[in-house]
Amino acid sequence: MKTKLFTVLVVLILCISGCDSGDDPPFKKKISIPYHFQLEYNFCGVACIQMWAERDGQYWDQYYIAGTIGVSGDGAHPTAIKTGLDAFTSAYAIIAMREWCEPDAQGDLLAGAIRGILIDKPSIVPFYDLTHAVIVRGFEWHENADTGKPVAEVMFYHDPDPWEGENQALVANMLKDYYFTPSGGDYWIILPLPTLVDAGVDSHIQFILGGGTYYGGPSVYDPKGILPPIN
């Protein structure tokens, strides 16, 4: 009886320490980010900057951030968000972009965000046809067997919209309805370091043949202008 009890205790300890550790595929990691909802309807990018800055130990008011980077009635342009991250966080932020005709465009950018999470850095992703911004705090993913590069299965994020809120998650086949619907002809993401840009997935065809559904994109590239503001 004592032997059985000891065995059960060992199994429980191993499970508590390793069952959600992300050591085995699908890999999983989340980082802690303080949550703040946007104080104005066009402050989603501002709130993302505030959350990122607080994670880095910097405490800034949303109105001060907005006044520094410049926010129009439609929201903050991605370049303004990058400016805010450069000013208020420890990130060396970059706006990574891919044309939506590129077969691995979306996976390439999300793979960069996964690499960021691995070094405890968030990223900012646009939602709803590039009209809204959220801050990414984690992923569940697997690695492509041929390239070893990460393919997102679940994305964990804070949504500054108070109607959505903190600790949200999207599975891969839902990302196509949130992230993969660009109106400007390009997919983009704000990453914490330039070195993460090329850490993408380059096996789009294999992913689609394997049942993947979230890469999307039309067969013909038809650019329709520059990035719109996001609110």
Q: Where are the alpha helices (DSSP H) in the chain?
A: 2-18, 44-55, 62-69, 78-88, 105-118, 172-178, 204-209
SS3 76: strand
Q: What is the pLDDT of residue 196?
A: 80
Mean pLDDT by 10 residues, the chain (231 residues): 39 34 72 96 95 96 94 85 94 82 73 93 88 93 81 93 93 74 69 71 41 38 36 46
* Structural domain that includes position 88: 21-209
Q: What is the pLDDT of residue 108?
A: 79
Q: Which helix (H) or strand (E) holds 43?
A: none
Q: What is the CATH number of the domain that holds 122?
A: 3.90.70.10
Q: What is the pLDDT of residue 143?
A: 87
Instruction: Examine residue 158 and state whether it is found in any structural domain, yes or no.
Output: yes
pTM attached to this predicted model: 0.75
- Domains: count for the chain: 1
Distance, in Å, from the CA atom of 153 to the CA atom of 85, rounded to the nearest integer, reads: 27
Q: What is the pLDDT of residue 218?
A: 34
Between CA 64 and CA 57, with CA 38 as vertex, the angle to 5 degrees is 60
Q: What is the pLDDT of residue 109?
A: 84
Instruction: Examine residue 141 and state whether it is found in any structural domain, yes or no.
Output: yes
User: The tokens of 53 are what?
Assistant: 């800055």
